[in-house]
Amino acid sequence: MNAHDDHAETIDRIVEILARSRSLLFITGAGVSADSGLPTYRGIGGLYNVNQTDEGIPIEDALSGAMIRRRPEITWKYLGQIERAARGATFNRAHQVIAEMESRFPRVWTLTQNVDGFHRQAGSRNVLEIHGDMHDLYCTACDYRTTVDNYEGLSLPPHCLECGGMLRPDVILFGEMLHEETVERLYEECRQGFDAVFSVGTTSVFPYIAEPVLLAAGRGRPTIEINPGASQVSDVVQIRLPLGAAAALDAIWSRYCRR
């Protein structure tokens, strides 16, 4: 039995919404990458359902802006674990469907909390990586920037090839501000509004992740949540599809393309 058999009526409702839509917003979290073999973890894209690290400090402290400035070897230790968990993985059907929709509808944007870069790898261009991409590194002492496929072979913490300063990934660590230009672009797109907003594979615990859903719901626009479990927006959305991201989006898109 497949996703379509179990949830055919809900999927058909979503397809009807797509059929009358020209603009879509997808808000994605760790659940979108679960079918790529990545764990659905807490925090900055990683792995952690435990409260304490090997050092006896909360993982949020280890992966914080304050820690990478004070003891970068600790932050890089856990960044390295996150990267190793993702190494060798690639985008899945959920990412592909969103990219295919971007090529078929006049305006599609993806707001993602994930730092794995899979949306862009799958072909999406209109991606707001609100927490950054762990493959993009920059020097904390000069203007040097680089993009790496993985952290294999890097000393942790790695050092700049130009000035010897410390490199860090261009991700938002705990206690750091979001990139202003990314937030402004998000607000700009939300001001234009979307015909439908999808929340996919995220618990929506961050206010800036829940806000576009709440805004759309307040405007009477269709809101759809795809998530096996409940989230902070489950009581707000118009439609809930309690499935994994890849199965749900593939079923929706297959039905839409056959209509």
Q: What is the pLDDT of residues 173-200, one digit of tens each?
A: 999 999 999 999 999 999 999 999 999 9
What is the residue type of 133? D
pLDDT value of position 181: 96
pLDDT value of position 1: 44
Do 188 and 111 lie in one domain? The reply is yes
pLDDT value of position 51: 57
User: What CA–CA distance (Å, rounded) separates 193 from 134?
Assistant: 29
Do 200 and 250 lie in one domain? The reply is yes
Within-domain flag for 66: no
Q: Which residue has the higher pLDDT, 182 or 44?
A: 182
Strand arrangement, sheet containing 132-139: 145-147, 132-139, 167-171
Do 235 and 252 lie in one domain? The reply is yes
Within-domain flag for 72: no
Within-domain flag for 140: yes
Do 213 and 253 lie in one domain? The reply is yes
Q: What would the mean pLDDT of 80-97 be, rounded to a whole number?
A: 90
Do 9 and 124 lie in one domain? The reply is yes
Within-domain flag for 12: yes
Q: What distance lies between CA 221 and its chain's CA centroid?
A: 22
Do 147 and 227 lie in one domain? The reply is no
User: What CA–CA distance (Å, rounded) separates 150 from 11?
Assistant: 37
Within-domain flag for 60: no
Q: What would the mean pLDDT of 32-51 be, rounded to a whole number?
A: 65
Assess whether pLDDT exceeds 90 at residue 137. Answer: yes
Question: In terms of residue numbers, what domain contains 223?
Answer: 3-38+90-131+177-258
Assess whether pLDDT exceeds 60 at residue 41. Answer: no
Last residue of a domain, one of 112, 145, 171: 171
Do 217 and 163 lie in one domain? The reply is no
pLDDT value of position 193: 96
Contact 85, 39 (CB under 8 A): yes
pLDDT value of position 46: 44
- In terms of C-beta distances under 8 Å and separation of at least 24 residues, what long-range contacts does 80-83 make, across chains too? 80/151, 80/156, 81/46, 81/47, 82/44, 82/45, 82/46, 82/47, 82/115, 82/134, 83/134, 83/150, 83/151
Assess whether pLDDT exceeds 90 at residue 216. Answer: yes
pLDDT band at 45 (very low <50, low <70, confident <90, very high): very low
Q: What would the mean pLDDT of 107-116 be, rounded to a whole number?
A: 96
Contact 94, 246 (CB under 8 A): yes
Which CATH number fits the domain that encloses residue 103?
3.40.50.1220
Q: What pTM does this model have?
A: 0.92
Total count of domains within the chain? 2
Last residue of a domain, one of 145, 171, 197: 171
Do 34 and 119 lie in one domain? The reply is yes
Within-domain flag for 151: yes
First to last CA, the chain: 21
Assess whether pLDDT exceeds 50 at residue 43. Answer: no
Do 139 and 123 lie in one domain? The reply is no
Assess whether pLDDT exceeds 50 at residue 44. Answer: no
Within-domain flag for 82: no
Active site positions, annotated: 131
Contact 129, 115 (CB under 8 A): yes
Assess whether pLDDT exceeds 80 at residue 135. Answer: yes
pLDDT band at 39 (very low <50, low <70, confident <90, very high): low
Do 8 and 94 lie in one domain? The reply is yes
